[in-house]
A = this chain, B = another copy of it.
Amino acid sequence: MDNVLIRFIERPVLENAVLIEGLPGVGNVGKLAAEHLAEELDFIKFAEIFSKFLPPQVMIGANDTIQLVKHDLFYRRGTEGVRDLVLLTGDYQGLTPEGQYELSHETVKLAREMGVNLIVTLGGYGVIKIVEEPGVLGAVTSVDMKPKLEDAGVIFRSGEPSSGIIGASGLLLGLGSLEGIPGICLMGETSGYFVDPRSARSVLRVLSTYLGFDVDYSSLEKKAAQIDEITSRIKENLEETETHERPDDLRYFG
């Protein structure tokens, strides 16, 4: 069986295109952002990627139909002032390190064949606290890309994340760079405790400024409000529990 199997619905030929990646990860920030983009900007699905490095699993859709776990590829032809775009999202990341390399390698290969000459990967940056207005941290394949990104609102903190970038968001840039394709990673600050549509919005705001398109965020804001409600309810419950079980004079020992 092939390591990676790409099934094309159509094979669009693009020019000067940007590949945007958003796969599952910390706070699901990248995946939320990519899916929002696909929907709001009317991207067209053109390929599905299957692989033995993804979980051996099928998903059940709303109509009880089975779908093998996969990555999805979308495109959107350029409009006034906006370049051709390719979008990658999916159910899972590769299961093993080797599998992650293989999947990213095939994606970079395909991107190059399609005319991609910039890769932007989207993800979350865990800060272990809840952030009201998440900032967007950046990393680049060459230093001359920084000023324009800083203009778009990207923050650069020397050497952060100190653990590097793990998974597809890192590998697509690392392997892309070996193939001569420059790249950017945009990481939205997120607690790491919940899926974080607010962080996804922050990332998309920066990205839209950088690439020159407009996005409506209302559906993402609705999701954010839902998560807020859940988290504040959990918080209340926790506080009640604390009040009942740990009176103030004993709090010192907590």
Contact = CB atoms under 8 A, between A and B. Distances in A.
Interface in A53-94: 53-69, 94
Interface in A174-221: 174-175, 177-178, 183, 185
A142 B66 CA distance: 8
Q: Count chain B CB atoms within 10 A of each CB in A63, A100, A104, A138 and give the residue with the most.
A: A63
Contacts of A94: 56
B165 A66 contact: yes
A39 to B, nearest CB: 19
Nearest to A63: B143
Bin the interface of chain A by size: 35 or more
Given A7-B178, A64-B139, A164-B69, A58 B101 contact: no
Given A1-B102, A139-B66, A56 B97 contact: yes
Nearest to A166: B57
Given A105-B1, A164-B69, A178-B50, A143 B64 contact: yes
B66 A174 contact: yes
Contacts of A65: 139-143
Given A66-B177, A140-B66, A158-B62, A56 B167 contact: yes
B58 A165 contact: yes
Given A64-B139, A64-B143, 14 more contacts: A1-B106, A53-B98, A55-B166, A56-B94, A58-B171, A58-B174, A60-B159, A60-B160, A62-B159, A65-B141, A66-B140, A66-B177, A68-B171, A68-B178
